[in-house]
Amino acid sequence: MLRPPYTRYERLYTYHLNLPTLPAIDDPDLIGTWIEDDSAILFFHRPKERLVQSLCEQTRAQVIYEADLDYTDWEAGREIGPFTVDDLTVAPVWEAGTAEIRLDPSVIFGSGFHPTTRLCLEALLKQLDAAKRPITSALDLGCGTGLLAIAAAKRGVQRVVAVDNNPLACQVARANAERNGVADRVTVQQHDLRQQPPATDGYDLVMANLYKGLMTELFSQEGFWQAPLHILSGFIPAMEEDLLRALPADRVRFLDRRRAERWCLWVLAKA
């Protein structure tokens, strides 16, 4: 996350270590860390060879990959700036001007600059406007920066639970919810959905922007389909056939099906 004296991201210095856990790292240039596939990934604003070398000596780990890249390269070459969906404007914290939502996008997926997050945001706003009865509760699975959860709360959803497996994503989402004045309506939880399958009863809406394998696992669980409305994304057209086969066809029906670039989104209602 951004901490003084930093007000924006320019270059990223990343280090991947073959380390399943990390000791606490106190460094003013640290952006954040996470564990993925038993590897520790560290992000800094400045080069940190000596710190990483000391960490390796301390833990007997090795650097398996390191990179020095521009922040826009981390975001797949996308320029990070304000954008508007319908009448809702989202902006990174360093941009001047008026915006309903201001985000620290950090190095977390789900900032709204990726097509799947943008598709989900468009679908969310449409469903909130079109709902025959108010949507008062929502579950955001794979919340990333917290954008969708924050947008839902900003537009009147009274209780939103946002879930991610990445502890840095959870930290960023909590900070963004606080920044946007919705921390009283958005609860961020760290869960591994493969180990702790979500129960969706008690929610009016479920948003899931996840990878295909996890989505297929969730489709097979009865508890996933208890909510009356689902917004699903994170997959490309080549994956749709497998996902369609995994759907409980007798329990859901399609309300909408969209694409942006090479990514897809489904909106499903309980049959």
Is 1 domain-assigned? no
Range list of β-strands (E), 56-178: 63-70, 83-85, 88-92, 101-103, 137-141, 159-164
Structural domain total, the chain: 2
Is 6 domain-assigned? no
Q: Are residues 106 and 209 in the same domain?
A: yes
* Predicted local confidence at residue 111, as pLDDT: 72
Q: Poorest-confidence range of 3-17, 65-79, 182-196, 213-227? A: 65-79
Q: Which amino acid is at 61?
A: A
**With 70 as the cut, is the pLDDT of residue 47 above it?**
yes
Is 5 domain-assigned? no
Express each pLDDT in 115-126 by its tens digit. 899 999 999 999
Q: Are residues 128 and 213 in the same domain?
A: yes
* Predicted local confidence at residue 227, as pLDDT: 96
Q: Are residues 190 and 258 in the same domain?
A: yes
Instruction: Judge contact between 192 and 165, C-beta under 8 A.
Output: yes
SS3 29: coil
Separation between Cα atoms, residue 113 and residue 75, nearest integer Å:
8
Residues 16-43, mean pLDDT to the nearest whole number: 92
Residues 148-168, mean pLDDT to the nearest whole number: 96
**With 90 as the cut, is the pLDDT of residue 98 above it?**
yes
How is residue 234 written in tokens?
């994170």
Express as a percent the part of the chain with pLDDT over 90.
83
Q: What is the mean pLDDT of the chain?
A: 93
What's the CATH number where 138 sits?
Answer: 3.40.50.150
* Structural domain boundaries, residue 31: 11-74
Q: Are residues 182 and 97 in the same domain?
A: yes
Q: Are residues 69 and 191 in the same domain?
A: no
